A and B are shown apart, each in its own frame.
Chain A
Amino acid sequence: MKFGSQVRAIVWKDILSEIRTKESITSVLVFTLLVIVIFNFAFDSSAETMNLVAPGILWVTFAFAGVISLNRGFLVEKEENCIEGLLACPVPREAIYLGKVIGSLVFMLAVEAIGLPIFAFLFNLPVLSLQIIVITLLTTIGFTAVGTLFSAMAVNTKAREMVLPILFLPLVSPIIISAVKASSMALGGETWGAMGNWLAIIGTFDVIFLVASYLLFSFIVEE
């Protein structure tokens, strides 16, 4: 019960901070919209081309938007050294980790919820289907699970904007590739069964990333 209330307090604090400052949401949304618009002009508008390139464009956009938002995730804790204030509290490090993951997840899903309809409108593709929504949700869970761990690691480095993508993107590439493949099948009108293997890969990585990051987080923040 107390663990849950501590996690909720961390999520509430992160969301309230973001609502007040709008620092991350502004930069991430501008980036997302800009990339979608540029790619929309870069390719011809034939249905064939769009079906071919759209999944890649979608996940490149969300992956890099995610990196920007994760980079900022722990900056708020660095200001006035709040992370030490948190570490001095009788709160399990795992609660801090889960709170930060849920906060980042809510934030990224909000960006995706705005990005997907715009993508659907500009590319004229059915990305607001249940299949794409499930793929997006599963991929974002794995992405934020491991991204939060790397964000905590990178925040103390001088070149954190560079360190996070270099360390993090190679690790999440299996779920990004799987998301691209599954999205491509969904846009091609395939059934759930046909994309089952790709969804299973994303789900498996989600579990591995969540469990490993949950267990490793205390070592990262205490040393």
Chain B
Amino acid sequence: MTQIRPSVVNVINAEAITKTFGVHDALRGIDLAVNPGESIVILGPNGAGKTTLLKILATIMNPTSGSLFVFGLNVKDEAENIRRRIGVVSHQSFFYSSLTIYENLEFYARMYGIDNHNSRIKEVIEMVGMTDRLHDRTNTLSRGMQQRISIARALLHNPDIVLLDEPETGLDQQALSMLWRLLRDDKEKNRTVIVSTHNLERALEFADSVIILRRGSIVYQQLAKSLNSSSLKQAYSENTVEKI
């Protein structure tokens, strides 16, 4: 039975989320509330728990404890309905190298149950400027091109939330500009975007809110409009540098 919270206005409500791998605590009591259409940037050093948090929000991974509601639905009971409305971009493309871009996108379209997927594939591939490579195998593409088609895959089912885990990894300047332009387009479409990055300047330009994670905990959370480049750098440095 669908379990819906009566007074939900947030698209994501996470309370006391923890994740433990063996003896290592990857997340330690994360509380997070995200409004519809909000853009959140997650900053933090390597191993801070950014990827784990995004995987849990994407329902790819189960938290060890805590509660998570997305669109007011409990992930424990309604994961499939939640996944239908989430797009994920990771470090890796999620594309099968022996298949063409079209075949990969067609496969994912079937997984998402998209009707009339042919026209939607053409639409998203045009959005990322890869129309002329549609029938090429993905193992012939550069890293930047793979990331572009990853974004196309994530937007294929027109999700309400897009989660991006360090999407800038390995991208050249041209691909980076395109990535952030696409993210700004998403923002204009009132899509909720959560992105983890190491790029503080871009984060500030794009985000409504900035979160800094350290050792599995949110150590800093601020509205982006109250920050400038130097105050963000200072906050990042104060909250992430190990104290000796």
Contact = CB atoms under 8 A, between A and B. Distances in A.
B112 A89 contact: yes
B111 A6 contact: yes
A5 B115 CA distance: 12
25 contacts: A5-B113, A6-B113, A9-B107, A12-B107, A13-B96, A13-B107, A16-B99, A17-B96, A17-B98, A17-B99, A79-B97, A80-B93, A80-B96, A81-B94, A84-B55, A85-B88, A85-B95, A88-B58, A88-B83, A88-B88, A89-B111, A90-B80, A90-B84, A222-B61, A222-B62
Contacts of B90: 81, 84-85
B86 A88 contact: yes
A16 B93 CA distance: 19
Interface in B85-122: 86, 88, 90-99, 103, 107-108, 110-113
7 nearest A-B residue pairs (beta carbon):
A85-B94, A89-B111, A9-B110, A81-B92, A90-B83, A20-B98, A90-B84
A205 B113 CA distance: 34
Contact of B99 (A6, A20, A86, A89): A20
A34 interface: no
A76 B84 CA distance: 24
Contacts of A81: 90-92, 94
A82 interface: yes
Contact of B83 (A21, A89, A222): A89
B33 interface: no
* A interface bracket (residues with beta carbon within 8 Å of B): 20 to 34
Interface string B122-134: 0000000000000
A44 interface: no
Nearest to B153: A85
Interface string A44-80: 0000000000000000000000000000000010011
Of listed B60, B61, B80, residue having the most chain A CB within 10 A? B60
B95 A5 contact: no
Contact of A82 (B58, B81, B86, B96): B96
Contacts of B95: 80, 82, 85
B59 A88 contact: yes
Contacts of B60: 84, 87-88, 222
Contacts of B107: 9, 12-13
Contacts, number: 80
B83 A80 contact: no
B92 A80 contact: yes
Contacts of B81: 90
Nearest to B82: A90
Contacts of B93: 80
A80 B80 contact: no
A82 B95 CA distance: 6
Of listed A6, A84, A92, residue having the most chain B CB within 10 A? A84
B65 to A, nearest CB: 14
A89 B98 contact: no
Of listed A12, A76, A85, A222, residue having the most chain B CB within 10 A? A85
A90 B96 contact: no
Contact of B110 (A6, A79, A82): A6
A223 B94 CA distance: 19
Nearest to A76: B96
B98 A85 contact: no
Nearest to B107: A13
A2 B110 CA distance: 9
